[in-house]
Structure 1
């Protein structure tokens, strides 16, 4: 369970790093998933993190394959966080805009 939490927190950290990169360089919205995958692989290689050995699955031919696939999974988790945060940010914006729009339409009908 601790290993799962570590992977989730690494994914959240990669999401935060990609968000900072997007704010710093501006027009990288299209490249954000690629940047998240690259950051995930880099972090997995730096930390020598192997998801499969952490869950006691040791039937890979080489250790580097597990580390690389773990990095891709970390990038995918970061992309998932990006989608979840985008959903909730868009939901809030949609609710606020619809409320203002309903107020304006009701006021026009009454007047």
Structure 2
């Protein structure tokens, strides 16, 4: 009986904790293109979403944090498209400690994206 009560109490305590997502915070980001790298800063917050600074700034319309994973989507000019036409882009990445790695999927090709926590 004591074990059941202890398990219920522990479950209630853990449910009441406001544990931040591991991706939250500010990140120095590098987009790896075939001929160069583009540097940016991402600010990630569970409530505010993703805010970008740097050469690749876009409005994120879908943003999701799930444990150590993050994903987002946006309509923006692809850095791989010299014409600068707007494309649908999707990002999927995984945080590991103070670093993350992921892929930015565009209609012009895919980019490796790496980040380190500020």
* Same structural fold, with TM-score higher than 0.5 when normalized by the shorter chain: no
Q: Which has the higher contact order (CA 8 A, sep 6+)?
A: 1
Computing the radius of gyration from Cα coordinates, the structure with the larger value is 1
- For normalisation by structure 1, the TM-score amounts to 0.27
Return the TM-score normalized by structure 2. Answer: 0.25
